[in-house]
Chains A and B, each alone.
Chain A
Amino acid sequence: MTLLSIRDLSVCIGRLRPLDGISFNLDKGEILGVVGESGSGKSLTATSIMGLLPLIGGKVLKGSMYFDGIDLTTLDEASYRRLRGRRIALISQNPMTSLDPIVRIGAQIDQMASLHLGLSPQKARARSIELMEQMRIPQAATVYGQYPHQLSGGMKQRIVVAMALAADPDLIIADEPTTALDVTIQAQIVQILIDLVRERGLALMLITHDMGVVAQACDRVVVLYAGRVAESNSVEGIFAEPRHPYTRALIRCIPRGGQARGSLVGIPGVVPRVLDYPRGCRFNPRCDLAQPICYTETPPVHADGSAAVACHFSEVRAHV
């Protein structure tokens, strides 16, 4: 069942248009990976869904966003506030600064439960400690009374996840939840998120630039490039048969065991800035398949069931 449906979403900030016709669906119980380099519009997509565009001076130019039948593009702020945290929760990027430094851990989780569920202080406390235990936080009752600076980064990120879960949301948007953590902790946090989705039947939109995390966690993937969807497909489809040159390049970037020294590859060039997106296909300056048409015509989206790709040469099968 489709929980979140985004069709042809364009967002403008002033005269800039950092999101340009994004479409994807997210089903209940599904983990959707949203991947792309910095500046591709991943976080902005999250901001748009959360209705927080006005805070950064942006607005929806066209397109639609439906969450469980609710039209998010026309929702007023008061209704949105009842949605945020209660039905859609955002886990933001940096666990080190996502917690208020002068409020105790427990109180920060409690406030979510009391804000949305109207729980009494005692019930909120019991619930918070239970949540912290589910996050596999050792000695949850002690941590409940501590301040953020007393915890490690991994513990803080678990607290942030616990806060997001406090009001039992249907959809969690995790914006690079593991970027600031070291690799072993990353894997633990990702596993916690996966388990939550499986146990509770949540939907998770996992924003990341790490294809390794995508392979570990996701059911489906949307690859964003310069404010457009380059490709979307099931995770098996993406890795078995990437159809966009950018997706192929991303997959080539995953380090593999047994790889010879010096053979680690990157993608040459950088994501174009929103001010000077190239004409035609926005990947053309970095693409090894680029032909004259790529510099003049925006590639149409070839949709095929739940898969879609925006490339003039998506039928060309290059080896990965």
Chain B
Amino acid sequence: MAQPMHTLVRIVSTPRGAVSGAILLIVILCALLASWVAPYSYDIQNLPGANLEPSASHLLGTDEFGRDLLSRIIYGARTSLAVGFTSIGASVLVGLVLGGAAGYFGGAFDRSVTAIVDLTWSFPEILIALILIAIAGPGLHSTAIAISIAYLAQFTRLTRAQIIGLKNETYVEATIGLGASHGHVLFQHLLPNALTPVIVAGMLATGDAIILEATLGFFGLGAQPPTPSWGAMMSSGTAQIFIAPWIIIFPGVAIAGTVIAINLFGDAIIDALDIRGKLRES
């Protein structure tokens, strides 16, 4: 990514990149500016106004406690994105260091890291998350930690594959031959060169992480009430599905829209940078 701005311009000049980018931007702005954008508070109950269908005063209707659904979805974006980005961000950072060291130094360290990582990869993410939440208890923190551990294997393997490809480059030998330490070579030269595909993989995984967060929320294992979470909102909507279907539909649309936008935008980045082959290396 020698010229990030140039790449960005190329991404948003395609229809797919422009539409998905715009949706993502709206979701991110909603999350950041929730308290200004949302017409109501997310937790003020109004029981006489429960299960109201969409109208001018409540654009998306109200839920079973009379809370404004639009406001809750806007605040829910904050939960989803915060969990998605922080958990995947942490996962990418640890994966870079772990996979980088494993790929660069090789030997017994590499074998043990690869073995552990392969072991976690053989379990479905949701199972790892459920085990961790069973140990640490439900809540947003456990959800975020569980997601970052569940996705660690992917970034570790991808980074390791990149580093193994890069470490035989002449500039590595040249830099060591001029007295650089292994840490310098790994962090100043190899990891920056390996960064692009890992970050794009992280971007795509963020979509998966949002779904996982919603799933855990749906089971009541993620964000605890009254914190709005799209998954938990859908879960509470199941009881009202015949009398107030908007309670389950609109959070579902929010999840699907956000995840599809992230995936399309990630695809657009991959095509703009032409790195589809590199992502398969892990």
> Which residues of A have CB within 8 Å of B180?
85, 111, 115
Knowing A81-B181, A82-B179 are in contact, say whether A92-B189 is a contact too (CB < 8 A): no
* Residue among A92, A115, A167 making CB contact with B174, cutoff 8 Å: A92
The answer, among A55, A86, A100, A160, for a CB contact under 8 Å with B179, is A86
Is the C-beta of B135 less than 8 angstroms from some C-beta in chain A?
no
Q: Which of B26-34, B165-173, B265-273 contacts A (4 or more CB under 8 A)?
A: B165-173
Contact: B171 with A100, CB < 8 Å?
Answer: yes
Rounded to whole Å, the gap between the CB of A315 and the closest CB of chain B is: 41
Separation of A164 and B176 alpha carbons in the complex (Å):
11
Complex Cα distance A85/B175, Å?
9
CB distance from A22 to the nearest CB of B (A): 19
* Interface assignment of B41: CB less than 8 Å from any CB of chain A: no
- The answer to whether B171 touches A84 (Cβ under 8 A) is no
Q: Verify B193–A92 contact, CB threshold 8 A.
A: no
Query: Could you tell me how many residues of chain B have their Cβ less than 8 Å away from some Cβ of chain A?
Result: 18
Q: Is the CB of A55 within 8 A of B176?
A: yes
Which chain B residues lie closer than 8 Å to A90 at the CB level? 173-174, 177-178
Cα separation A115 to B175 with both chains bound (whole Å)? 11
How far, in whole Å, are A98 and B174 apart by their CA atoms in the complex? Answer: 6
Shortest distance from the beta carbon of B2 to any chain A beta carbon, whole Å: 6
Pair A98/B178 contact, Cβ less than 8 Å? no
Interface residue? A64 (CB, 8 A): no
Q: Verify B178–A163 contact, CB threshold 8 A.
A: yes
Q: Per-position contact with A for B182-215: 1 when CB-CB < 8 Å, else 0?
A: 0010001100110000000000000000000000
In the bound complex, how far is the Cα of B180 from the Cα of A84, in angstroms?
A: 8
Given A98-B170, A98-B174, A111-B188, residue A83 in contact with residue B193 (CB < 8 A): no
B111-170 residues with Cβ-Cβ distance < 8 A to A are: 169-170
**CB-based contact B176/A167 at 8 Å:** no
**Please, how many angstroms separate the alpha-carbon atoms of A164 and B173 in the complex?**
13
A interface residues, how many (CB within 8 angstroms): 32
Given A102-B193, A147-B2: A112 and B178 interface contact (C-beta under 8 Å): yes
Complexed CA–CA distance, A163 and B193 (Å): 20
Neighbouring A residues of B181 by C-beta, 8 Å: 81
- Residue A202, interface by CB 8 Å: no
List, in ascending order, chain A residues with CB within 8 A of B173's CB. 52, 55, 90, 92
B177 and A85 within 8 A (CB): yes
A194 to B171, CA, bound (A): 24
Min C-beta distance of B196 to chain A, whole Å = 9
> When chains A and B are docked, how far (Å) is the Cα of A26 from the Cα of B61?
87
Least distance between B24 CB and chain A CB atoms (Å): 26
Bound Cα distance A81, B175 (Å): 11
Q: Mark B39-71, 1 if CB is under 8 A from A, else 0.
A: 000000000000000000000000000000000
Tell me whether A16 is interfacial, beta carbon within 8 Å. Answer: no
Closest chain A residue to B171 by CB distance? Answer: A100
Cβ B178 vs Cβ A164 within 8 A: yes
- List residues of chain B with CB within 8 A of the CB of A147: 2
Given A111-B188, A115-B184, answer yes or no on A99-B171 (Cβ-Cβ < 8 Å): yes
A50 touches B (CB below 8 Å): yes
User: Chain B residues near A81 (CB, 8 Å)?
Assistant: 179, 181
A99–B176 CA distance with the chains assembled, in angstroms: 12
Q: Does A97 contact B (CB under 8 A)?
A: yes
Determine if A116 is an interface residue (Cβ-Cβ < 8 Å).
yes
Within 8 A of B (CB), among A108-142: 111-112, 115-116
Chain B residues in 8 Å Cβ range of A101: 171, 193
Interchain CB contact under 8 A, B171 and A98: yes
A50 partner residues in chain B, CB cutoff 8 A = 177
Identity of the chain B residue whose Cβ is nearest the Cβ of A78 in the assembled complex:
B181
Q: Does A93 contact B (CB under 8 A)?
A: yes
A115 to B177, CA, bound (A): 13
Given A93-B170, A102-B2, A147-B2, A52-B189 contact (CB < 8 Å) = no
Q: Chain B residues near A99: list those with CB within 8 A.
A: 171, 174
User: Of residues A50, A83, A86, which shows the largest number of chain B Cβ atoms within 10 Å of its Cβ?
Assistant: A50
- Chain A residues near B178 (CB-CB < 8 A): 84-85, 89-90, 112, 115, 163-164, 166-167
Chain A: minimal CB distance from B21 (Å): 25
Contact A83:B175 (CB < 8 A) given known A93-B170, A111-B188? no
Chain A residues in 8 Å Cβ range of B176: 52, 55, 84
**A215–B102 alpha-carbon span in the complex (Å):** 46
- Is A89 touching B175 in the complex (CB atoms < 8 A)? no
Q: Determine if A94 is an interface residue (Cβ-Cβ < 8 Å).
A: yes
* Minimum CB–CB distance for A201 against chain B, Å: 20
Identify the 6 closest CB pairs spanning chains A and B, nearest first.
Answer: A85-B179, A90-B177, A85-B178, A84-B179, A97-B170, A98-B174
Beyond A92-B173, A100-B189, 14 additional contacts (C-beta under 8 Å) are A50-B177, A84-B179, A89-B178, A90-B174, A90-B178, A92-B174, A93-B170, A97-B169, A98-B170, A98-B171, A102-B193, A111-B184, A115-B184, A116-B179
12 examples of A-B residue contacts, CB within 8 angstroms = A50-B177, A81-B181, A90-B174, A97-B170, A97-B171, A98-B174, A100-B189, A101-B171, A111-B184, A115-B180, A167-B178, A167-B179
